[in-house]
Structure 1
Amino acid sequence: MKINDSDILSDTESILDLTALRDDTPGTAGRIHFNNAGCGLLPAPVLAAVQAHLELEAEIGGYEASALRADAVGGFYTEMARLLGCRPENIAFASSATHAYATALSAIDFRAGDVILTTRNDFISNQIAFLSLRKRFGVEIVHAPDSPEGGVDVEALTALARRLRPRLVAVTHVPTNSGLVQPVEAIGQVCRELDLTYLVDACQSVGELVVDVDAIGCDYLTGTCRKFLRGPRGTGFLYVSDRVLSTPAEPLFIDMYGARWTSAAAYTPVATAARFEDWEFPYASLLGCAEAARYASDVGIDVIARRTPALARTLRSALADIPGVTVLEKGRELAGIVTFTINGWQAQPFKQRLDAHAINSALSFREFAQYDFGDKDVDWCLRLSPHYYNTEAEIARVADAVGGLAEEAA
């Protein structure tokens, strides 16, 4: 059954107060922000939370400010847990999704010959981390093949998992270079059946899609606050399952926040995901993240998860009708990232012309996605990523601008 995106957009617009949401988002006044997969525009309450805490630090001191706002600081864990469907004790703050991912990897006791089973669409920094582990420890990296319709072939991945018994299964929920949504829940069922450690990169899905860690069945899940969650930069989080927390698993470089120094020759990790955190926090940014998670929950992640992909599908359809434009997405389910190539243009000049139209976008290059872009035989593409506060009128303006540039190059 074909999805009627016009009905979805009309229905979600009737639920959301788009005028209020856009009033809360000053950046929408002067430009079309289709770079939410890079950084979402901060809503006013997030900006206010960050500014207010910085002012408090300036007034009374940093340590004193964090102590005074201890309850609000705890709100970060409560709000992220509400968004992910877990307990606050399962959440650790991180300086970025990559920091969270590396911290999780460091808690796994890799040995020579261990297998990391991943996909051909995993995030560039994750792939580089796997190569680093191979260089240092002699692990083997195995990439499960894609299905013909796009996305990992779950049956093939299952067969590899049964045969290889990997030390780690690692999947990126939504790649940075594509709107593909990987079947993370189906993969989680395989990992639970085979008792395999499962790490999910949810950097591009939290804040855009419904992400339920129990339904996914992951041991670790990482993400950022700056993208579709619309929080400040330099922030991320790590979910750690109860299954992991019941074991001695700990990051390689645990510090005084994550452990108690119990004697001159011993320490004991704390019982919660705080064992994956460091002592020093950017408290103003953390409070901004708490507000961003609260804001997303208050808007309604269910309605966001309907509207954002529908906006992206509408954009893909409009771009696909433009001669000289090739939309690159493949997959059974697609999220709010749209990637395409255009004949007759090089990467930077094309983006600069969109910048001149006050359209925010991003470029992806083959070095970001060696397997996926190799399969698609492209060296670069433009990435557009609308979010729930964007409008159909903005999509039409973007399509008109791309169409004009395509005609110019023809």
Structure 2
Amino acid sequence: MNDFALWWEWLSFGVRWLHVVTAIAWIGSSFYFIALDLGLHRRPGLPEGAYGEEWQVHGGGFYHVQKYLVAPAQMPEHLTWFKWEAYSTWLTGFALLAVVYYAGAELYLIDPNVLDVSAPVAIGISLASLAFGWIVYDLLCRSPLGMNDTRLMLVLFVVLVFMAWGYTQLFTGRAALLHLGAFTATIMSANVFMVIIPNQKIVVADLIAGRKPDPKYGRIAKTRSLHNNYLTLPVVFLMLSNHYPLAFATEFNWVIAILVFLMGVSIRHYFNTVHARKGNPTWTWLVTAILFVIIMWLSTVPKVLTGEDRTAAGAERFLASVHFEPVRDTVLGRCSMCHAAEPFWEGVHQAPKNVRLDTDAAIANHAREIYLQAGRSHAMPPGNLTDITPQERALIVAWFEEAR
């Protein structure tokens, strides 16, 4: 059993690492081509069919790039297709979802206080929601709404708001934000697999056959690419959110997620505008900062968190608090079955993150983590498997804030 747990942990680490590597490759190439596309300029004497060009310097060399909206009159012998970065990112992300959230559904996916279902049912809901996202998004893009980018983006934002709220009614807070990221990433990857690459292949096939390609295929692909551009940064946040309980395990986690989408829009608007040489809209950073402050406030309503004194004197204050004994009983009864030198919760063979909460001193030294994870947020216990009560969480908050 211990050998299996060890191998499974390394599998999780390997898949996570591979997912990060492929995501960096996809995001990097995506951001590069968006910047290149916006920075193109036209001049007299460009080859027939060329839309614009850009001169760039990198690594001691000069690059001269020209863009064709359809394709050049003569197809080059070699074409580099930028698609495997997107496919690999989604495949590794789905593998990570299966390894962590499906295999550990009782810990990470299901919260009986939110929706009491079996692991197979929860996994089925998860899979269905990802398929649902692509179908709804694609239908909206192909509808008359798709003819107007602004109206389409507004409707899509409403869909994201609904899904952000809906996921919190189905899964743990951790899984809800992660699934909103997977929901969005599925749309982005499917855009590449189902629309952008097929459209480009149609154009190439027409050229090889001597037919004049229809420019609509390029326009459609560009619209989907634009959507991917604005969705990238929120997806990165949501994929990292499982490390931050103040983002995923608080009352307004779904509102936080939506504000993150707005932050992504404001940040990308700045870079898109600069790359297009249309100004320097620094106001977008102020908007982003304001949104982030609102997120901080929402995560800690009604009080803003402060740091904890980690000196010996600070630990003594937590031990001396009148609330310490009942808090200790709560921690020992709700947390120490995993956070101990020898965990006895089935499937847990080592204290998570090596945090042990099985002695008075250890509890006092980890007061801030207990406060954040189990007091201010509901990150711990995962899925509230040990049924910690609201009164016990309130007691943890009172203990920390009285003693700090």
| Larger fraction in helix | 2
TM-score under structure 2 length normalisation: 0.24
Structure with greater Cα Rg: 2
TM-score under structure 1 length normalisation: 0.24
| Larger fraction in strand | 1
